[in-house]
Amino acid sequence: MSPSPPDPMTSYIVIVRKDSQTTTFQISANQFVFLNAVCAGGSIERVLAVVGAHASVTTDQAKATWARMDDVCMAWIDAGFFVVRDR
């Protein structure tokens, strides 16, 4: 008899295509909120305020966390999460 499948759970992933190669990243709920807010436009200050509200922390606390995430930020940039668009 086969084991039961695991209970459903919320997961957040990003699929990035760069140079004809796709990569999948698992991200946290707060990172999902961050990326959604970035896509919606606005300043990083505004984005971090949105993330702070979602995480029930102050904007200053969200900024402090963001400042400690250089490794994640660089991985996202290197992977092609962000692109330059002409306006």
The string of pLDDT tens digits covering residues 12-55 is: 999 999 999 999 999 999 999 999 999 998 788 999 999 999 99
Residue 87 has pLDDT above 80, yes or no: no
- Which pair of structure tokens corresponds to residue 4? 């039961």
Count the domains in the chain: 1
* Dihedral in degrees, nearest 10, Cα atoms 52, 53, 56, 60: 30
Residue 84 lies in a domain: no
Q: Report whether 19 contacts 75 (CB < 8 A).
A: no
Query: Taking the model in full, what pTM does it have?
Result: 0.81
Burial class (CB in 10 A: 0-12, 13-18, 19+), 48: buried
Q: What is the pLDDT of residue 85?
A: 67
Residue 79 has pLDDT above 70, yes or no: yes
**Domain encompassing residue 19:** 12-79
Give me the helix-helix angle, 59-67 and 44-55, nearest 10°: 110
Q: How confident is the model at residue 74 (pLDDT cuts 50, 70, 90)?
A: confident
Residue 4 lies in a domain: no
